[in-house]
C-alpha cells in the first residue's frame, strides 16, 4: 500500500442552531410535448463487442415525460425485425436535443443485424419518429468496434 | 520560516487534538456512568473470510462511539438550555422554542446509543456529521461498505445514505403522467412515508428494528428504552405526559437485549407482550420518535443550505473558473442535471428561431433558491456487484440462530424492483397497484441529492487522493471510492465495458480507469450516462463543482470538526482504493428468492 496515514489535529466547535428553512418538496410537471420530433443525427453504432452493442441517435428534445425509452427493433432479416431492445434515458429540459442510447446484449459475433429506432415516453406513448432500416455487423470474439469518429474521450493516464 | 510556522501549527493542532480526545474519553466514561449499565457481552459473529473486516474495525467502532457520546452530551446541554416548554392556544403550539425543542429531542434520539440491542449503536453511528451524515469509518468505506450493527459483526447490505435533505423527498408515488416513481427514502425507496406522510420519518423507523443494524426484535423496545432515557421528560413535554404509561412486562429488557431474528422469537415480530391499548400507545410513541428525528434532519444541524453554491445563488460568491466550467458541464455536456436538478435551466424560451420551445435553455435565472440536486426518482446506473460488500458473506447462522444472507453470492440487489415485489431483505410494498412495475424497476436505486456528496471533516478536506483525504464510499454498494471515479464512471461506463466481474479486468487494463466490469443488474441499465465525451480535465472540473455543494461555507457545519480519526494520503483519485479490490468469486445464478418472485425480471437476470 503506497499510502501513509497522516494524523491531523482536530478542534471542537459548538454552533448555535440557525433559523429553520421552509419545507416542502415539489415535482415538476412534465415539459410540454413537442409537436414533432426529428432525428438530427444517426442512428449509428456507438460500440460493438462480443458482450455489448450500443445504438445511439440524437433527436430534437421530445418533451413530455422526463423519462423516455429509446427503442431498437432488430433482427438478421431486414424484413423481419423480430427483436426489441429498449433503454431508459432521462430528458434534460434545458437541452434542445436528446441523445438516445440503447444497449443490446448477447448478439452473435460476425453477424449483420438490421434495425430501426424510435423513442417513447416511459408510459408508452410514442414520440412519433422512426428511422429507416439501418444495419451493422458485430465483431468477432474478443474484437471491438468503436463509433467512427470515436467520441472525444481520451484514455485517462 | 514557513516550515517553522507549519511546525508550530502542527504542535498547536496536536495539543488541541489531545485535549479533545481526553474530553471525549471523559465524556464517554460519564455517559457510561449515567447509563448505569454496561453493554451486554455477547459472542461475536464472524462469518467473514480473512480480509473482509478491516483490521482497525474494533478501534474505529470505539472511536465513533466516543464521538457519538460527545455529541449526545452536547445535545443534553442544548436540552437543558431550552427553557420552559409551554403550549399555547388552539391548536396547541409550543410558543417560541417549539422548533428548537422538537429538533433537540430528535438530536438526543439520533445520538442515543441505548436505542440498540447492545446499547452500543446510535443512528449516528453510521451517519456522522463530518461525513455529510454518511459512513464515518474510512476503513469500512474502503472495504466492507455496509456497516456493522449492534450485534457484532452482523452488517447491513448497502452503504449508509446521507441524511442531508432526506426530509425533502416526497411521499413515494407512481406518477402516471411521468410513468415513473418519485419519492421515498432509502436506496430502494421502501420508506414510502404512506402513514406519516414523511418518507424520512418512515425511514427512521427502519434501522432500530433491522436485524443487522440496531437489532431490536420489536418496535416496543425502542419505546421501552426511551422510557428509560435521561431526556424522557422532554419527550413527554412535547408528545404528552402519558406517553410512557405503558405496562411493560418484566421480561422486556431481556427481550430487548436479544437481537432480532433470533431463533427464540420464531416468527413473532412482537415478542414484547403488551395490551392492545399499550401497543397502540407504543406505536404512537414510535411515530413520534420518527417525526422528531426527521425534524432534526430538516434543520440546520443537518440540511442548512450553506454551501458555496447557495452563496452563488444569492450573488455572494463567484464560482472560480474551474467551478464554473464544472457547473457548465454539469448542466451541459455531462447532462448531470437531467437527474440532479439544479433549479435552473427550466425557464421557457420563445419558439425557434428566437428560442428552442418547447424546452428552455438556461437563462441564468434561478428557478429555485433551494435546488436539491435530485429529481427524487431512481435509476439503474449499471454498477458492478461489489464483492467486498459484507452482506455476501453472512451465510451461516450466528449464535442466535439467525442467518442474515442465506443466499450468499446468489443475492442480487434489485433495489426498487425487489421492494415492489415485497421480496427478500426489504419491506412490504403497501400498494399492490405498483407490483406490475417491478421488472422495469429492477436495479433502480434512489437518485441521491448531489449536495454534500463531497462533505468531509475539515481536517481531511477532500474525498480525493492524494489528499489528505477522508475515504468515503459512493453509490449504494460502495464500489466507487472517489468523486473522480464517480464522474469517470458516468463518463466512460460504456467506453470501457468488459464482460467480467470486479477483480477480473483483463491484463493491460486498470479497473475503474479503462475497464468497467459488467453491471450487477444488466437488464435495466440507464442510457443517459455511459459515454459523455468528457476529457480528463473536464471530469476534474465537475468534481470541483460537486465540491461547491458542500454545506458549511456560509456558516460552519455543526459538529463537522469532531472527527478524531485519521486522514489518508497518497495515491491517485483515479485508482483510489484499487489496492483493496478482490476477485469476485464465480457467481451462482440469481437466487429464486430474489429473481424468482413474480412478476419476473425481464429479461432474466443472470
Secondary structure (DSSP) of B389-436: -GGGG--S--TTS--S-TTGGG----BHHHHHTT-TTSPPPS-GGGGG
Contact A47 B497 (CB under 8 A): yes
Inside any domain, residue A24: no
Task: Return the domain boundaries, chain B.
Answer: 37-298, 317-331+378-556+570-606
Q: Which candidate, B4, B5, B8, B14, places its Cα nearest to that of B459?
A: B14
- pLDDT greater than 50 at residue B1: no
The total of structural domains in chain A comes to 1
**Cβ density class B382-405: b for 16+ within 10 Å, e for less:** bbbbbbbbbbbbbbeebebebebb
Please say if the pLDDT value at position B242 is more than 50: yes
Q: How far apart are the first and last CA of chain B?
A: 63
CA distance B51 to B335: 39
- Residues of chain B positioned with their CB less than 8 A from the CB of A141: none
Share of chain B above pLDDT 90, in %: 86
Q: How confident is the model at residue A142 (pLDDT cuts 50, 70, 90)?
A: confident
Q: Residue A93 belongs to a domain with what CATH number? A: 2.60.40.10
Residues 6+ positions from B67 with CB-CB distance below 8 Å: B24, B128, B136, B562, B563, B564
pLDDT at A128 > cutoff 50:
yes
- Is position A34 within any domain? no
Nearest Cβ partner of A123 from B176, B460, B488?
B176
Q: Does the residue A3 lie in any domain?
A: no
Distance from CA of A52 to the nearest CA of B (A): 8
Q: How far is CA B136 from the centre of its chain?
A: 11
Q: Do A46 and B531 touch (CB under 8 A)?
A: yes
- Residue scoring higher pLDDT (B255 or B19): B255
**How do beta strands A67-75 and A83-90 pair?**
antiparallel
Tell which phi-psi region holds residue B416, choosing left (phi > 0), alpha (psi between -120 and 50) or beta: alpha
Q: Which three cell numbers stand for residue B286?
A: 414510535
Q: Greater confidence, B302 or A8?
A: B302
Angstrom distance (rounded) from CA B459 to CA B78: 26
> How far, in whole angstroms, is CA B534 from its chain's centroid?
29
Chain A: give the shortest CA distance to residue B476, in Å. Answer: 20
Nine-digit cell at B566? 485519521
Arithmetic mean of pLDDT, A81-100: 92
Residue in A13, A87, A90 nearest the CB of B561: A13
> Could you tell me if residue A19 is inside a domain?
no
pLDDT at residue B250 greater than cutoff 50: yes
Average pLDDT over residues A62-77: 96
Within 10 angstroms of residue A44's Cβ, the number of other Cβ atoms is 15
In CATH terms, is domain B317-331+378-556+570-606 a member of 1.10.760.10?
yes
User: How does residue B346 score in pLDDT terms, banded at 50, 70 and 90?
Assistant: very low
Least confident of A90-99, A115-124, B405-414, B495-504: A90-99
Identify the pLDDT of residue A130: 96
Residue B20 has pLDDT above 60, yes or no: no
Strands B93-94 and B173-175: unpaired
* Nearest-CB residue to A21 (from B103, B177, B370): B370
pLDDT at A10: 33
Mean pLDDT within A49-53: 91
Q: Is the pLDDT of residue A86 over 60?
A: yes
**The pLDDT of residue B70:** 98
Confidence of residue B47 (pLDDT cuts 50, 70, 90): very high
In a domain, A21, yes or no: no
Does residue A95 form part of some domain?
Answer: yes
pLDDT of B119 strictly over 60: yes
> What pLDDT score was predicted for residue B358?
40
Per-residue pLDDT at B369: 74
From the list B72, B80, B81, the residue with the least C-alpha distance to B24 is B72
C-alpha cell at B404: 442474515
Cell of B514: 479503462
Q: How confident is the model at residue A44 (pLDDT cuts 50, 70, 90)?
A: very high
User: Is B379 within 8 Å of chain A by CB?
Assistant: yes
Domain range for A120:
39-139
Lowest mean pLDDT among A140-149, B68-77, B153-162, B401-410: A140-149
Mean pLDDT of A16-28: 38
B220, pLDDT greater than 60:
yes
The CATH number given to B37-298 is: 1.10.760.10
Cα–Cα distance, B429 to B437 (Å, whole number): 12
pTM of the model as a whole = 0.89
Does residue B412 contact residue B590 with C-beta atoms inside 8 Å? yes
pLDDT digits over B168-199, tens only? 999 999 999 889 999 999 999 999 999 999 99
Main-chain dihedrals φ then ψ at residue B554, nearest 5 degrees: -80, -30
**Is A59 inside a domain boundary?**
yes
Amino acid at each position: 500500500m503506497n499510502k501513509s496515514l497522516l494524523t491531523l489535529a482536530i478542534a471542537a466547535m459548538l454552533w448555535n442552531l440557525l433559523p429553520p428553512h421552509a419545507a416542502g418538496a415539489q415535482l415538476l410537471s412534465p415539459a410540454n410535448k413537442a409537436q414533432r420530433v426529428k432525428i438530427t443525427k444517426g442512428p449509428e453504432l456507438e460500440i460493438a463487442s462480443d458482450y455489448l452493442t450500443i445504438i445511439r441517435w440524437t433527436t430534437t428534445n421530445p418533451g413530455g415525460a422526463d423519462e423516455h425509452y429509446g427503442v431498437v427493433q432488430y433482427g438478421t432479416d431486414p424484413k423481419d425485425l423480430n427483436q426489441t431492445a429498449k433503454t431508459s434515458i432521462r430528458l434534460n429540459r434545458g437541452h434542445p436535443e436528446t441523445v438516445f442510447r440503447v444497449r443490446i446484449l448477447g448478439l452473435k459475433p460476425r453477424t449483420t443485424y438490421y434495425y430501426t429506432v424510435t423513442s417513447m415516453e416511459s408510459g408508452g406513448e410514442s414520440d412519433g419518429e422512426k428511422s429507416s432500416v439501418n444495419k451493422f455487423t458485430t465483431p468477432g470474439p474478443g474484437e471491438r468496434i468503436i463509433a467512427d469518429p470515436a467520441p472525444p474521450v481520451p484514455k485517462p493516464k | 520560516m514557513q516550515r517553522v510556522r507549519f511546525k508550530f501549527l502542527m504542535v498547536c493542532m496536536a495539543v488541541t487534538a489531545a485535549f479533545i480526545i481526553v474530553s471525549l474519553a471523559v465524556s464517554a466514561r460519564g455517559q457510561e456512568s449515567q447509563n448505569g449499565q454496561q453493554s451486554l457481552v455477547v459472542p461475536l459473529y464472524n462469518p467473514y473470510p480473512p480480509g473482509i473486516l478491516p483490521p482497525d474495525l474494533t478501534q474505529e467502532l470505539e472511536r465513533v462511539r466516543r464521538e457519538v457520546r460527545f455529541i449526545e452530551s452536547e445535545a443534553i446541554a442544548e436540552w437543558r438550555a431550552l427553557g420552559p416548554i409551554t403550549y399555547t392556544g388552539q391548536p396547541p403550539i409550543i410558543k417560541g422554542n417549539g422548533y428548537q425543542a422538537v429538533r433537540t429531542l430528535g438530536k438526543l434520539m439520533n445520538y442515543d446509543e441505548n436505542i440498540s440491542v447492545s446499547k452500543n449503536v446510535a443512528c449516528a453511528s453510521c451517519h456522522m456529521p463530518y461525513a455529510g451524515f454518511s459512513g464515518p469509518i474510512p476503513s469500512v468505506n474502503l472495504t466492507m461498505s455496509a456497516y456493522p450493527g449492534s450485534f457484532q459483526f452482523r452488517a447491513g447490505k448497502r452503504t449508509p445514505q446521507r441524511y442531508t435533505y432526506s426530509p425533502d423527498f416526497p411521499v413515494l408515488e407512481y406518477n402516471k403522467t411521468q410513468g415513473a416513481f418519485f419519492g421515498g427514502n432509502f436506496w430502494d425507496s421502501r420508506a414510502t412515508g404512506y402513514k406519516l406522510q414523511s418518507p424520512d420519518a418512515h425511514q427512521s423507523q427502519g434501522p432500530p428494528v433491522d436485524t443487522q443494524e440496531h437489532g431490536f426484535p420489536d418496535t416496543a423496545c425502542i419505546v421501552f428504552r426511551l422510557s428509560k432515557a435521561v431526556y424522557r421528560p422532554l419527550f413527554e413535554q412535547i408528545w404528552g405526559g402519558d406517553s410512557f404509561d405503558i405496562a411493560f412486562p418484566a421480561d422486556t429488557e431481556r427481550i430487548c437485549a436479544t437481537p432480532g431474528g433470533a431463533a427464540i422469537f420464531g416468527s413473532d415480530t412482537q415478542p414484547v407482550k403488551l395490551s392492545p391499548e399499550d401497543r397502540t400507545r407504543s406505536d404512537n410513541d414510535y411515530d413520534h420518535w420518527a417525526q422528531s428525528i426527521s425534524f432534526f434532519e430538516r434543520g440546520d444541524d443537518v440540511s442548512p443550505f450553506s454551501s458555496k453554491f447557495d452563496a452563488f445563488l444569492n450573488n455572494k460568491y463567484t464560482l472560480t473558473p474551474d467551478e464554473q466550467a464544472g457547473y457548465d458541464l454539469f448542466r451541459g455536456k455531462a447532462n448531470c442535471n437531467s437527474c440532479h436538478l439544479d433549479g435552473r435551466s427550466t425557464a421557457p424560451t420563445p419558439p425557434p428561431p428566437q428560442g428552442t420551445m418547447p424546452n428552455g435553455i438556461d437563462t441564468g435565472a434561478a428557478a429555485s433558491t433551494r435546488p436539491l440536486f435530485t429529481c427524487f426518482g431512481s435509476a439503474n446506473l449499471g454498477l458492478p456487484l461489489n464483492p467486498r460488500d459484507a452482506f455476501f458473506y453472512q451465510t451461516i447462522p450466528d449464535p442466535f440462530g439467525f442467518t442474515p444472507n442465506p443466499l450468499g453470492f446468489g443475492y442480487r440487489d434489485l433495489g426498487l424492483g425487489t421492494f415492489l415485489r415485497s421480496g427478500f431483505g426489504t419491506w412490504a410494498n403497501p400498494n399492490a397497484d405498483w407490483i406490475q412495475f417491478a421488472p422495469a424497476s429492477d436495479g433502480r436505486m434512489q437518485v441521491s441529492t448531489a449536495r454534500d456528496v463531497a462533505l468531509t471533516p475539515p481536517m481531511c478536506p477532500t474525498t480525493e487522493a492524494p489528499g489528505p483525504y477522508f475515504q468515503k464510499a459512493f453509490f449504494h454498494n460502495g464500489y466507487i471510492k472517489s468523486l473522480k471515479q464517480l464522474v469517470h464512471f458516468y463518463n466512460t461506463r460504456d467506453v470501457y465495458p468488459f464482460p467480467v466481474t470486479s477483480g477480473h479486468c483483463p491484463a493491460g487494463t486498470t479497473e475503474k480507469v479503462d475497464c468497467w466490469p459488467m453491471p450487477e443488474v444488466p437488464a435495466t441499465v440507464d442510457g443517459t450516462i455511459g459515454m459523455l465525451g468528457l476529457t480528463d480535465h473536464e471530469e476534474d472540473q465537475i468534481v470541483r463543482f460537486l465540491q461547491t455543494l458542500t454545506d458549511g461555507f456560509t456558516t460552519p457545519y455543526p459538529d463537522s470538526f469532531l472527527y478524531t480519526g485519521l486522514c489518508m494520503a497518497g495515491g491517485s483519485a483515479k485508482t483510489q482504493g484499487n489496492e483493496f479490490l478482490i476477485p469476485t468469486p464465480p457467481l451462482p445464478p440469481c437466487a429464486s428468492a430474489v429473481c424468482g418472485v413474480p412478476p419476473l425480471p425481464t429479461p432474466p437476470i443472470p
